[in-house]
A = this chain, B = another copy of it.
Amino acid sequence: MRKLSVLEMGRMTVDEYKESLKTPLVVVLDHVRSLYNVGSVFRTADAFRLSGVCLCGITARPPHPEIHKTALGAEDSVDWKYFEHTEDCVTWLRQQGYTVLAIEQCEGSTMLNNYQLSIVNCQLPKIAIILGNEVKGVQQQVVDMCDGCIEIPQYGTKHSMNVSVTAGIVIWEFFKQLH
């Protein structure tokens, strides 16, 4: 099978992107340290045309050369917002009508493969997912504010996966349900 050239992929311009209808899904990064993870999340958010990315606490913000290295310009297409305190971000999202879900391994969390978005009166829900720091995860007080906790089932020796990979899997799964 012949590989497509970049031109044949027919991607949109940043201006077209800004005007386009977005997937009602927002990613929140709660004190994510790695600039690589931030850039990579921007790139995935661009691919699935998310409504935005919220950067909280120590999470770095564009413009930043290290974010650009992995985002490759997706930081210019995807809307983003900064909050010093993740709690303020959750409050703001709630006011905007978002259901806020922590991606964490909690007592009684719902496995990602079992989670079904509830679509009422043909109205798509607005969903925000929170990913935490590489070592500490989502802060307990932030988890406590959430509407639920989603966990990716894992069967290996390590306690977690990389933050940007985790974000990618959850975004993909929700994107399929939202389209």
Contacts and interface: CB of A to CB of B under 8 A. Distances in A.
When all copies of this chain in the complex are counted, the total is 2
Interface in A9-32: 9, 11-14, 17
A156 B18 CA distance: 10
Contact of A105 (B9, B159, B165): B9
Interface in A118-165: 137-138, 140, 143-144, 146, 148-149, 152, 154-159, 161-162, 164-165
Given A155-B49, A156-B11, A104 B140 contact: no
Which bracket fits the contact residues of A?
35 or more
Interface of A: 1-4, 6, 9, 11-14, 17, 36, 40, 43-49, 70, 72-74, 77-78, 102, 104-109, 113, 137-138, 140, 143-144, 146, 148-149, 152, 154-159, 161-162, 164-169, 172-173, 176
